[in-house]
Structure 1
Amino acid sequence: MDIQITTFGALLGLAVAIILIIKKFQPAYSLILGALIGGLVGGAGLVGTVDVMMEGARGIMSAILRILTSGVLAGVLIKTGAAAKIADQIIRTLGEKRALIALALSTLILTAVGVFVDISVITVAPIALAIGKKLGYSKFTVLLAMIGGGKCGNVISPNPNTIAASENFGVSLSSLMAANIIPAIFGLVATIIIANILAKKHAGDKIELNLEENEPQEELPSFFAAIVGPLVAILLLSLRPIVGITVDPLIALPLGGIIGVLVMGKIRYINDYMAFGLSKMMPVAILLIGTGTIAGVIKYSGVQASTISILNAMHIPEFLLAPISGILMGAATASTTSGATIASATFAPAIISVGIAPLAGAAMVHVGATVLDSLPHGSFFHATGGSVNMSINERLKLVPYEAAVGLTITIVSTIMWGIIM
């Protein structure tokens, strides 16, 4: 497509979308309107702008299809109580003395096996609040432990952000999940250190808790039954790097959910679980369609060339384009999924053209999107704050600390994939 959009037009469109989202307009429509304005101001004309928007949306459809089918596993994990059981078992195993590690590991593992990071935090939150009240931890401490663990799990998960990045860079999902395991471990360590700092800083803060609201509503499955579904999905995804057999996430993730529900003996409820999972994935899928339109505008603009020129003028290594693009787009959209999608869709060709391997580029873009994904104009900020009854002002104070966790993961990944490898 022979269309060129000016850098100013693309950035203006992105700015319009961000402002509208901050003003509480529907995010998908905000992104679509921003894309339209960006293309028109950028000189593409009405027909050209619509063509670019359509191509951007088409480019993300394969990822959206995989995201929708992943709702089977997510629905099973949440509605059967499997996610809560996994979290509860981890905390019981590690004990109260290692409570912060247990909370971080719980959200890490839940997110890593395919639960959305905000849902992981919401799932673990009642347990975290009860532990925090008993041991004297503040809401800041327990929420940071959960969010930090969730960020670590998110970069090694089969979640929408990973799927989108792997699609746009043309690498296998399992390879991208494995690429950031070591950075995730460093991120976990950073989470524990920062959580302990917050524990001392807010030692006088007390958690107010209504215990009746946090009692389990139904009997949870056994730990073995709870973990079978995620293990099957991960095993199927791992067949490609291990034995060269490719099982697409489109098959692996829902199959893991179905096998999991069979083992738990609740197959008669599978339709309800799938409906619930689909309801959780639909907003993400719709958001990604809007994200695709703005990504198309940016892709056909001068933003990539301008960014590379700035990096060269500042004598910054070109491989830093990958994490920087992830950080900027994650901050712009306040979403790991949208940030990773836009950054990978628009910057992948430029990143690969400077000699960065596709897997390395995907890994660095992906982790970069976790640094500033929790800004107030995104849903993650409000969902996680609400899970522990935290006010907006209180929640804002936590943003620098969780950004530090994301930055730790990004620095380690960049050293690995941009310098060492």
Structure 2
Amino acid sequence: MTITTFGATIGLIVAIILIIKKFEPFYCLVFGALIGGLVGGANLVETVEYMAIGAKDMAPSILRVMTSGFLAATLIKTGAVDRISEEIIKLLGLNKAILGIVLSAMVLAGVGVDLDVVVLTVGPIGMSIGHKLGYSKLAILLAALGGGKAGNIISPNPNTLAAATNFNVDLSSVMLANVIPAICGIIVTTILAKLLINKGSKIDIDINIEEDENLPSLFASLIGPIVSIGLLFLGNVSSIVVDPLVALPVGAVVSIFATKNLKNTREYMSFGVAKMQGVCILLLGTGTLVGIIQMSNLQNSTLGLLDMLNVPQFLLAPVSGMVMSLATASTTGGSTIASSTFSQAILSSGLSGVSGAAMVNAGACVFEHLPHGALFHASTRSVSMDIAERFKLIHYEIIIGVVIVVASTIVQLVLMNL
């Protein structure tokens, strides 16, 4: 039984509309999958079976994401994220405040902290600096968001984990593949943020960020994620391959010992599970829709459309990531749906698994900040900005995302032709 392209498309559209209407994303995805299967010609039993298979195929990604929550929770609860961001901004000084905010957000996202936490951590520090220098909220927030985008595509976060798993390649290779695009993202973010320094509302509240003596040292803050990333990269330089399922919790344990918080281990584990529950539920719902799409002719129809338009097939990788992030306003959702649905078609275009995963992941960062996603609202709160002003940043964020995905595409094509 093959579901029609029309049915799969209708299911996807239904899910998108419901998500935009602010219904719970998990149920939107499940309902969209159900509609897609039935409209596409499958009976109820077949539709549910395809949905279940799709959800089951998400198990490896969900398992890795759940374990990654332990490292993220440890960095957050020990105060490591605060120490890292403070030290980076302090090191660069007020003269390079914008670059400091960008790099701070990039590093936090790059070591495995999700973007909501990144902007909520960096935002108040940026507000304090912005008040002293007379910078606008727009400049401060764009610096944090753009830096977060750049860090997210080279991180062990759920979006990169999902892309690597679905293309069956090492996570470290996907992280490494987008280093140059991340640098491009840092550069364009810094330029755009500086252009906004005198535009929009100024920071009228003096937020006094005092150095907390109880925060861990910079070494103690960084050693955990350094160990995790080092373990992940072992497979690139030796025959030892360490799965994220092991590498990320090991980094968490190292962080706990380095920051002398062994007594709080149970609390951090609980916080990590709670932190990742929402992401894992989203992945499960995504799996049901992916199951329907994978049983449909959507991949063949998409490739046929690209041929008809004379568009190179390799562009399916970045474009699918962009389209799915537009639908879900989530890097994780966009990367997961695109990599699950189109991985075989992308590989058949001649791209390697690493290149395909990297380009999909980069594409998924373009529209993650749209209003029907959580990041839009978390970032708005981080600098006490009103909704009307927050909308003024959307096109700047899209520009940063487009620069990142274009850079990723060019880098992977150059590597493919070497």
Interval containing the TM-score (normalised by the shorter chain): over 0.9
Aligned to 1:365: 360
Deviation at 1:216, TM superposition (A): 6.6
Which residue, out of 158, 161, 172, partners 1:160?
158
**1:304 corresponding residue in structure 2:** 299
Structure 1 residues 216 and 377, CA, compared in 2 at 3 Å: closer, same or farther? farther
Match of 1:40 in 2: 38
CA distance in 2, matches of 1:195, 1:77: 27
Unaligned runs of at least 5 residues, structure 1:
none
**156-165 or 240-249, which moves further after superposition?**
240-249
Give the aligned partner of residue 202 of structure 2.
Answer: 206
SS at match of 2:242: coil
CA distance in 1, matches of 2:213, 2:367: 36
1:125 counterpart residue number: 123
Within the candidate set 379, 395, 400, 2:374 is matched to 379
Query: Of 143, 146, 166, which residue of structure 2 is paired with 1:145?
Result: 143
Spell out the pairing of 1:106-255 with structure 2 (5 A cutoff): 106-202=104-200, 205-209=201-205, 211=207, 219-255=214-250
Amino acid at match of 2:259: M
* Paired residue secondary structure (2:283): helix
Cα drift, residue 419 of structure 1: 4.8
The aligned amino acid for 2:10 is L
Take 2:281 and 2:110, find their aligned partners in 1: how far apart are those partners?
23
Distance 1:313 1:196, change over 3 A: same
Which residue in 2 is equivalent to 1:260?
255
- Offset at residue 367 of structure 1 (A): 0.3
Task: Calculate the aligned-residue CA RMSD, in Å.
Answer: 1.3
Distance in 1, matches of 2:297 and 2:322, equals 19
Tell me if structure 1 keeps the 8 A contact 2:128–2:206: no
Corresponding residue number in structure 2 for 1:354: 349
TM-score in terms of structure 2 length: 0.97
Structure 1 range deviating more: 386-395 or 335-344: 386-395
Structure 2 partner of 1:27: 25
- Conservation of the 8 A alpha-carbon contact between 1:161 and 1:338: yes
Q: Which amino acid aligns with 1:250?
A: L
Contact 1:240/1:247 (CA < 8 Å) preserved in 2? Answer: yes
Deviation at 1:244, TM superposition (A): 2.0
Q: Distance in 2 between matches of 1:244 and 1:385?
A: 45
Contact 1:168 1:345 in 2 (8 A): yes
Give the deviation of 1:345 after TM superposition: 0.1
- What SS does the aligned partner of 1:211 have? coil
Contact 1:320 1:418 in 2 (8 A): no
- The one-letter amino acid of 1:108's match is M
Deviation at residue 284 of structure 1 after TM alignment: 0.4
Change in 2 beyond 3 A, CA 1:10/1:412? same
Q: After TM superposition, give the deviation of residue 161 of structure 1 in Å.
A: 0.3
Report the equivalent of 1:9.
7
Amino acid at match of 1:209: I
Moved more, 13-22 or 336-345: 13-22
Give the letter for the 2:265 counterpart. Answer: I
1:18 match:
16
2:322 to 319, 327, 333: 327
Question: For residue 57 of structure 1, what is the amino acid of its counterpart?
Answer: A
Aligned partners of 1:45 and 1:396: how far apart in 2? 43
The secondary structure found in structure 2 opposite 1:221 is coil
Distance 2:202 2:142 in 1: 16
Describe the SS at the equivalent of 1:328.
helix
- Of 263, 280, 301, the match for 1:285: 280
Matched position secondary structure for 1:171: coil
Equivalent residue for 1:274, pick from 269, 284, 297? 269
Unaligned ranges ≥5, structure 2: none
| TM-superposition CA deviations, 1:109-166 (whole Å, max 9, x none) | 0010000012111111110110111111111101100000000000000000000000
Count of residue pairs brought into register by the alignment: 416
How far apart, CA to CA, are the structure 2 residues paired with 1:190 and 1:215?
30
Cα deviations across residues 5-50 of structure 1 (Å, max 9, x unaligned)? 1122112111211222222211111111111111111111111111
Structure 1 segments (4+ residues) deviating >4 Å: 214-218
> In 2, Cα distance between the equivalents of 1:303 and 1:193?
40
Partner AA of 1:265 in structure 2: K
Aligned-partner Cα distance in 2 for 1:118–1:8: 35
Return the alpha-carbon distance in structure 2 between the equivalents of residues 216 and 9 of structure 1: 57
Q: Give, in angstroms, the shift of residue 211 of structure 1.
A: 2.8
Asked if structure 1 preserves the Cα contact closer than 8 Å seen for 2:164 and 2:171, the reply is yes
1:263 Cα deviation (Å)? Answer: 1.0
Give 1:418 shift: 2.9
Percent of residue pairs identical: 53
Using the alignment, how far apart are the partners of 2:294 and 2:20 within structure 1? 24
**What one-letter code is carried by the residue in structure 2 that aligns with 1:114?**
G
1:412 match: 407
d(CA) in 2 for partners of 1:192, 1:312? 38
C-alpha displacement of 1:218: 7.1
8 Å Cα contact 2:136-2:199 kept in structure 1: no
Equivalent pair of 1:67/1:285 in contact (CA under 8 Å): yes
Seen in structure 2, the aligned counterparts of structure 1 residues 420 and 176 have a Cα distance that, compared at 3 Å, is closer
The match for 1:69 among 43, 47, 67 is: 67
The farther-off stretch of 154-163 and 190-199 is: 190-199
Question: What are the superposed Cα offsets for residues 161-182 of structure 1, whole Å, 9 maximum, x if unpaired?
Answer: 0000000001000000000001
Q: Secondary structure at the match of 1:199?
A: coil
**TM-score of the superposed pair, with normalisation by structure 1:** 0.96
Comparing 300-309 and 350-359, the one that deviates more: 300-309
